[in-house]
Structure 1
Amino acid sequence: MTRQLPIIAVATAPGKAGVGVVRISGKNLEAITKALFQKTLKPRQANLLTLRDYDGQAIDELIAIYFSAPASFTGEDVLELQCHGGPQLLELVMRRCLELGKGEGLVIADPGEFTLRAYLNNKIDLAQAEAIADLIDAQSEAAVRGAARSLQGAFSDDINALIEEITQLRILVESTLDFPEEEIEFLENAQARQRLLVVKTKLQTLRAGAKQGKILRDGIQLVLAGAPNVGKSSLLNRLAGEEVAIVTPIAGTTRDRVKESVNIEGVPIHIIDTAGLRETQDVVEAKGIERSWDAIRTADLVIFLNDADTKTDLNGLREQILGQISSKCPVLEVFNKMDLLSEVPKTSPANALFISAKTGDGIETLKQKILEAVGWGGPQEGSILARRRHLDCIGRAAEHIEKSEEFAANGNNSLELFAEELFLAQNHLGQITGKLLPDDLLGKIFSQFCIGK
């Protein structure tokens, strides 16, 4: 993906539209521009031009804008062609550009290659590059705003500020290693431990914000689980606000997973309605139940739905579910069909929630319980988006800061280890912005982008 040839791609989404953009990026694009339009374009000026085919017939009348390096998105020369947005028309424009740019080595871009070049040319860091993809994929207004803040550098600024504090602390610790007879007194006078505590506190705050950012970016995988005919499909329909799953009085109506995404206070909730969990001789239903268990094992949150109007003992099923999920996955025990009861049974389990998917009673409370269960703290000013990769890096950095704290307390024989742990923490934080990132991981990150981005 780091080839030096000029690249081209359609930068707008597939399909019909009023406008479609074709983007070209590379070094010294004047030759390609002149081949396309028989003239040299002035940088950063819109030009209404006609692109013609080999026989001189007009392909499209378009607007061409030329950006000369380094004042462009990629840091290279960039030519953007704003065409009419028909898919076949854009294909003809692409083909003609490739024909005329063949001598300059023009090739079709890989996914994410424009953004990769912007990163390699120091126009953006890696966290900002990922924010571009997150902004495109944002599933709520809050996610859009969080991605925009990350793109503007808010997340990177926090990371870089923390790296700088660790760097200054490393300089302090390592400078004392040449004077072993004075190192403890020197570090105490410089308040090394207090400064380490400040770093630790800021890292904890950063980690908490990143956890919220990951929820905002990825949403929550919520699985509705329970025996047949307890109202899982009815609850899905109630949460979705429309009939997305078939509901009948017949047990076992849902034979496969039904997925629907909803939005609760800006958080994307990906709900999976599963087949009722029971023993069955029906081959199709058994396959659906097997998929239900697969969904339960990978859930971020499980709602174990019971029928409030039945006397059936479902403890065995509850224990089965608890045995399949991760220890980090919370389970909400919910009793449905409260509209059939006059009051909540006195023998109700502690913390159980009673609702009626039919009437809507208790649904708003359930929504709040869902957000609380996954640790959502509500929309906050200055929130950013974060990925699992970011959380992993911050988590590893926090572990090294904890170890450095131990070595700092041990005195003379541990200062080299103290300095080493600080270095490792700094290294993990640097991977977030791409300062210290392996090439194979870099390629994997950008391969997930859209073509033309």
Structure 2
Amino acid sequence: MLARHHDPIAAIATAPGRGGVGIVRVSGKGLQGLVQTLCGRPLTPRQATYLPFCDAAGQPIDQGLALYFPAPHSYTGEDVLELQAHGGPVVLQLLLARCLEAANQPDPASGQRVLPGLRVAQPGEFTERAFLNDKIDLAQAEAIADLIDASTEAAARSASRSLSGAFSHEIHALRDALIHLRMLVEATLDFPEEEIDFLRKADARGQLSKLEQTLAQVRQRAQQGALLREGIKVVIAGQPNAGKSSLLNALAGAELAIVTPIAGTTRDKVQQTIQIEGVPLHVIDTAGLRESHDEVERIGIARAWDEIAGADAVLFLHDLSRCDAPEYIAADADVAGAMAEKVSKNVPVIDVWNKSDCAAPAARLVATVGARASVRLSARTGDGLADLRRTLLDVVGWQAAPEGVFIARARHVQALHAVAEHLAQAAAQLDATGPALDLLAEELRLAQNALGDITGEFSSDDLLGVIFSSFCIGK
């Protein structure tokens, strides 16, 4: 642990602003003296006590509830004191200042300061203490922040499952199986005369195959969880007057973007987050793509291309009412060519044929472009929107969320990918004629380390700093 991890800490634990209740939290070793100084009496552990909170002169700041949780039975694993007062920002700042002031008062019994070194907590430091004191692992710690930040019900439920340890349980089960396999390989290295016969008798290849199958299932659920947490950036692109703004409004169910028959109405991006089956979609309407001499419109078009290049999925909007006009077809081809250069091959592009309600019957039969997903709809009437929503989820790999999905982050998915690569290398070594058992053992060790990165068993201090700094202060 770093030196700062031994300091007692205090912070306002509720969100900024006014509310019915606000909480000031203190965590550290040996808080009994601070409890006595602040509350004027000892507190019964884990029992709420209603009392006045007074300043150094004995004047009341507020009245509320005080709760004391002795170590190790607390959120952080240290002694924890919570003062629950009215949720006005001035009141809470006064209470926090009183905690810091009381910590530096002399204890009447010993003459020493009540709680030397008490300081304001850094972002995420309470949860970091919980992790360092083995109350939770790193995946559970991240799930706390994800539960707070959840933008959909499905994301909140998945974060709650991760917080309860569902994701960690899966990782620990993989780790235990991996350790058992490593044990077999290491034992074989210790007795080289046995070598591959010993591994065959122990069915090492079967154990590795089962491990790879289990890992594939965990990776699939983690990828679903990452979609729930991160959401999907969807960019609507196409020529002017294809109905991009109308489509954004239809998907959002609100008049967010200005819609007019005038080409070039949208000059800058308009963004709205919606949800489909609990998956957040960050939908961005962009300026119409064309050659323009208007400086403002050109800037908007450049920004549109920037958004398209960074999208998770692109809705390439086509106007069915103009799909037989030669100039429109040529301009669409130019946009398609530029899009092919700027959009990664891994990013799905959906061809959306809009204005089906006012297109000629022959135009409604327009064919799908290449092998890409294609949807015909009317942003004005809403016909075909359900198909578009379902297609969007399909192309990004979302499946109907079962109860077993847990929240996950991009780093979890990357770590599981690294595990899969190391296991694949291990399998290649095991299947080779005259396998190099030392290389096999090393691949298994690296796979275990990658799993440990998820739960924090092998995480660096730099990684921990990045993770916990993203938390709010007081959590």
The one of 99, 102, 105 equivalent to 2:101 is: 99
**Distance (Å, rounded) in 2 between the aligned partners of 1:123 and 1:44:** 17
**Distance (Å, rounded) in 1 between the aligned partners of 2:175 and 2:190:** 24
Query: Residues 239-273 of structure 1, C-alpha deviation per residue, up to 9 Å, x if partnerless?
Result: 00010111111111111111101111111111011
Report 1:68-107 matches (<5 A). Answer: 68-102=70-104, 103=113, 104=115, 105-107=117-119
- Name the structure 2 match of 1:14: 16
Q: Using the TM superposition, name which of 17-26 and 280-289 deviates more.
A: 280-289
Q: Using the TM superposition, name which of 345-354 and 314-323 deviates more.
A: 345-354
SS at match of 2:398: coil
Runs ≥4 residues deviating over 3 A: none
- Name the structure 2 match of 1:417: 439
SS at match of 1:22: strand
* Deviation (angstroms), 1:338: 1.0
The one of 50, 54, 57 equivalent to 1:55 is: 57
* 2:148 is aligned with 1:136: yes
SS at match of 1:436: coil
* Deviation (angstroms), 1:412: 3.2
- Name the structure 2 match of 1:231: 243
**Distance (Å, rounded) in 1 between the aligned partners of 2:366 and 2:275:** 34
**Distance (Å, rounded) in 2 between the aligned partners of 1:72 and 1:3:** 16
Question: Which AA in structure 2 matches 1:377?
Answer: Q
- Name the structure 2 match of 1:359: 381
The one of 442, 447, 451 equivalent to 2:469 is: 447
Question: Which AA in structure 2 matches 1:36?
Answer: L
* Deviation (angstroms), 1:411: 4.1
Q: Using the TM superposition, name which of 412-421 and 209-218 deviates more.
A: 412-421
* 2:392 is aligned with 1:370: yes
- Name the structure 2 match of 1:114: 126
**Distance (Å, rounded) in 2 between the aligned partners of 1:387 and 1:352:** 30
**Distance (Å, rounded) in 2 between the aligned partners of 1:344 and 1:157:** 57
SS at match of 1:338: coil
- Name the structure 2 match of 1:148: 160
- Name the structure 2 match of 1:349: 368
Determine if contact 2:236/2:315 at 8 Å carries over to the other structure.
Answer: yes
TM (normalized to structure 2)? 0.93
**Distance (Å, rounded) in 2 between the aligned partners of 1:375 and 1:438:** 32
Identity of aligned residues (%): 53
* 2:434 is aligned with 1:432: no
Determine if contact 1:12/1:21 at 8 Å carries over to the other structure.
Answer: yes
* 2:280 is aligned with 1:249: no
Determine if contact 2:5/2:129 at 8 Å carries over to the other structure.
Answer: no
- Name the structure 2 match of 1:391: 413
Q: Using the TM superposition, name which of 374-383 and 66-75 deviates more.
A: 374-383
* Deviation (angstroms), 1:413: 4.3
Q: Using the TM superposition, name which of 101-110 and 155-164 deviates more.
A: 101-110
TM (normalized to structure 1)? 0.98
Report 1:292-371 matches (<5 A). Answer: 292-310=304-322, 311=325, 312-313=328-329, 314-343=332-361, 345=363, 346-350=365-369, 351-371=373-393
**Distance (Å, rounded) in 2 between the aligned partners of 1:329 and 1:15:** 41
Question: Which AA in structure 1 matches 2:198?
Answer: F
* Deviation (angstroms), 1:281: 2.0
* 2:177 is aligned with 1:168: no
SS at match of 2:271: strand
Query: Residues 3-34 of structure 1, C-alpha deviation per residue, up to 9 Å, x if partnerless?
Result: 31111111111111110111111111111111
**Distance (Å, rounded) in 1 between the aligned partners of 2:83 and 2:366:** 70
The one of 39, 50, 54 equivalent to 1:37 is: 39
**Distance (Å, rounded) in 2 between the aligned partners of 1:451 and 1:60:** 22
Determine if contact 2:139/2:456 at 8 Å carries over to the other structure.
Answer: yes
Determine if contact 2:229/2:408 at 8 Å carries over to the other structure.
Answer: yes
The one of 286, 293, 297 equivalent to 1:274 is: 286
**Distance (Å, rounded) in 1 between the aligned partners of 2:271 and 2:147:** 23
* Deviation (angstroms), 1:347: 4.3
Query: Residues 249-301 of structure 1, C-alpha deviation per residue, up to 9 Å, x if partnerless?
Result: 11111111111011111111110111111122222222211111111111110
Superposed CA RMSD in Å reads 1.2
Say how many residue pairs are matched.
Answer: 453
